Amino acid sequence: MHSETVAGLIAGLRARKYSATELAQGLLERIQRAQPELNAFISIEAEAALAAAAAADRALASGSAPPLTGVPIAHKDIFCATDSRTTCGSKMLANFISPYDATVVARLRAAGAVVLGKTNMDEFAMGSSNETSYFGPVRNPWDRTRVPGGSSGGSAAAVAARLVPAATATDTGGSIRQPAALCGVTGIKPTYGRVSRYGIVAFASSLDQAGIIARTAEDAAILLRSMAGFDERDSTSVDAAVPDYVAGLERPLNGLRIGLLKEFFDQGLDPAVEACLRSGLEVLRNQGATLREVSLPNLPLSVPTYYVVAPAECSSNLARFDGVRFGHRCEDPRDLKDLYERSRGEGFGAEVKRRIMTGTYVLSAGYYDAYYLKAQRVRQLIASDFARAFGEVDVLIGPTTPTTAFEIGAKMNDPVTMYLNDIYTIGANLAGLPAISIPCGFVTGLPVGLQIVGAHFAEERILNVAHRYQRETDWHERAPEAYR
């Protein structure tokens, strides 16, 4: 059962090949066995999961079950949920239990999904390797000496190791797509505003977006169909009709116009990764797609732009964690200033402190115009470049990451080098565009990801392209030997 996709599990459960309880029990046992070596989970919710699975079995027996009834999933530990801790991978929230469910959590629960636990992540989603978590680093199932990517590394590792068929995740600068690429699974970041952010602990509010990590594009489409849609509780949610993503998967690719991002094929791209990508493009060309080079001249500015905008918003959002209302509180504060300083100093890790300080600096008097305002102007130029490109092509394709997974600890002392791991993913966040990463090969036994970027609200199209690619390849079916 652990090797089944979401689509396969839905069919198996409804055909009564196995029960939701048997499925949940089997995966919970796999999670417990893998946890010491992968550290993919922060919380394992066995009792609640088995109760939900039993309820799913009753619903299936009644013949009136919602679409995801009995399907086991995990949530990235940044989604608030009433029945489990929401830690954000931080000491600051190590014991926090939310009084409400995030919209994504509530919608998947209503659709019948069974939640097995909360996955490990970089602290407050700040990181590219899942090494900044207060609960320790996550390890890549393909090579446990290497990182799984971040910040949604726990979700990606759990799916790759067949511990769950799918998991929720968030993407602020590539945090769904980058770990999906490094772990050899499929990860989609929808258009900004397509999926509600209500109940997601905020990092950078104008960039954060919830999405899915799964084995296949079909599975991502199934889950996204239940997650997407307008939410009046989220002021950034867009009131737009949600198409049936699954119905559009089989659309032929004849006449599809693919743009190859010139700026992505630069000197920083590993030649072996590029070779995998070029082979993947031939698969799409053989299905009737046409390829042409497209240039986005301002795209190389995406990394410096992001690392002004994101820390600025982080500085504002994390100001609420002060030791007064909730979260970590220092022992025996002398006065209010001491309470603030020690609570935040003890509660936040080094990377979070670095970004708070950077953000506070760029927002301060005398520097706002020089840094933050200028970064927002460049952000608009990048968005305009994408808009022009989509006047000429239907989708843009390039690598997801410049290299395969690197060793744990290799870049922790060099923040700039670490930040450059997101060089190919950040642009889509700055422009609010949907993007998906799918497996397209291996280099020395480690997975490589191919990234497809679409115009606003073109999730249906990029899922279609990803699915048609996966119909012709088997990279997404491969599993790490230790977890088959």
Alpha-carbon gap, residue 336 to 354, rounded angstroms: 23
Q: How does DSSP classify residue 363?
A: H
Query: Which phi and psi (to 5°) does residue 11 adopt?
Result: -65, -45
The H-assigned helical ranges of 318-349 are: 336-347
261 bridge partner residues: 294
Structure tokens given for 238: 């867009």
Secondary structure of residue 30 in the 3-state scheme: helix
Burial of 271 (0-12, 13-18, 19+ CB in 10 A): exposed
**Do the strands 446-454 and 435-443 form a parallel or antiparallel pair, or are they unpaired?**
antiparallel
Does the active-site annotation cover 175?
Answer: yes
Among 151, 196, 226, 302, the active-site one is 151
Structure tokens at 60: 């299936």
- Active-site residue, 206 included: no
H or E stretch covering 76: strand 72-76
- Contact 6/162 with Cβ under 8 angstroms? no
- Sort 293 into a burial class: Cβ within 10 Å, 0-12 / 13-18 / 19+: exposed
> CA-CA distances (angstroms) from residue 252 to 391, 461, 469?
21, 11, 11
Closest CA to 123 of 314, 358, 306, 330: 314
Catalytic residue, chosen from 19, 128, 155, 175, is 175
Q: Where are the beta strands (DSSP E) in 125-225?
A: 166-171, 186-189, 209-214
Verify whether residue 76 is a known catalytic residue. Answer: yes
Residue with tokens 């550290």: 39
Compute CA distances 301 → 60, 238, 263, 306, 309, whole Å. 52, 28, 11, 9, 12
Lay out the sheet containing 257-261: strands in order across.
Answer: 41-44, 114-119, 72-76, 166-171, 209-214, 186-189, 435-443, 446-454, 395-399, 257-261, 290-294
C-alpha to C-alpha distance for 111 and 380, rounded to whole angstroms = 37
**Are the C-beta atoms of residues 125 and 93 closer than 8 Å to each other?**
no
* Dihedral of alpha carbons 96, 97, 98, 102, sign: positive
* Nearest alpha carbon to residue 164 among 263, 76, 271, 235: 76
- Provide the annotated active-site residues: 76, 151, 175
